[in-house]
Amino acid sequence: MLRRKLHSEVHRSNRIGWLRAAVLGANDGIISTASLMLGVAAGRADMQTILLAGVAALVAGSMSMAAGEYVSVSTQADTQAADLERERAELEQNPAGELHELTHIYINRGLDSSLARQVAEQLMAHDALDAHAREELGLTETSDAHPVQAALVSASSFSLGSLLPLLAVALASHATAMLTISSVTVVALILLGTLGAYTGGASLFKGALRVTFWGILAMAITSGVGALFGHIG
């Protein structure tokens, strides 16, 4: 386990793990559920079928997101653990070589050789594995992998995202279903993109634009496919 920071400063990069999972889950929930219902609606299905498709998309999608995130982040955690174990073994077998390696890392960062050596020696005396994990492997508390957290956040955010187009179609008539789903989805994507960009400290306009663009494209293509196969059927 990497040593935690002692100071209380909060940086936006500390949010990247859960923020990525939350935004990705909500984005997928909104887009995939809305697109599926639009595709079914474009195929001239009745309201019960459209709603059923949305519910199925919510359940299947949330489980898929949870499984996918858990497997992905677990793999990341396994890789980090393997790297740390290898580094621990190297420190035990060749501490002088590891000290030389850490010294050169600091030299390459701009310290003179004498100061770099002093810094490396003091850090290794304090916590050699932590020093090499940070400087050589690039592992910090912001890169720690949390599979269960990522899975729960992804599944929850996907479900919440899916509820928006589901509620839209539940309150709409058959004649206005496609327009209602599309309108609610676009507004939701704009808000999601803006929120994600604000939380991450990025451009609000760019954050909203890229999420909304791909959402509209997905809905348009799915609606077209649904209409095509509905016409053939």
- pLDDT tens for 28-73 read 999 999 999 999 999 999 999 999 999 999 999 999 989 998 998 8
- What are the tokens at 88? 């621990």
Q: Which amino acid is at 28?
A: D
Residues 6+ apart with CB under 8 A from 41: 50, 177, 178, 181, 223, 226
Give the confidence band of 123 by pLDDT, cuts at 50, 70, 90: confident
- What are the tokens at 50? 């459209």
Section 88-102 average pLDDT? 86
pLDDT at 210 over 50: yes
pLDDT at 12 over 60: no
Domain assignment of residue 5, yes or no: no
Q: Report the alpha-carbon distance of residue 60 to residue 52 in Å, rounded.
A: 12
Domain assignment of residue 8, yes or no: no
Section 152-180 average pLDDT? 92
End-to-end Cα spacing for the chain: 58
Residue 221, domain extent: 16-232
Coil, helix or strand for 1? coil
Rg (CA), the chain: 24
Of 151, 186, 202, 147, nearest in space to 25 by CA:
151
Domain assignment of residue 51, yes or no: yes
Number of domains in the chain: 1
Of 101, 132, 205, 143, nearest in space to 13 by CA:
143
Give the confidence band of 177 by pLDDT, cuts at 50, 70, 90: very high
Domain assignment of residue 210, yes or no: yes
Q: What is the pTM of this model?
A: 0.73
Domain assignment of residue 147, yes or no: yes
Domain assignment of residue 167, yes or no: yes
pLDDT at 2 over 50: no
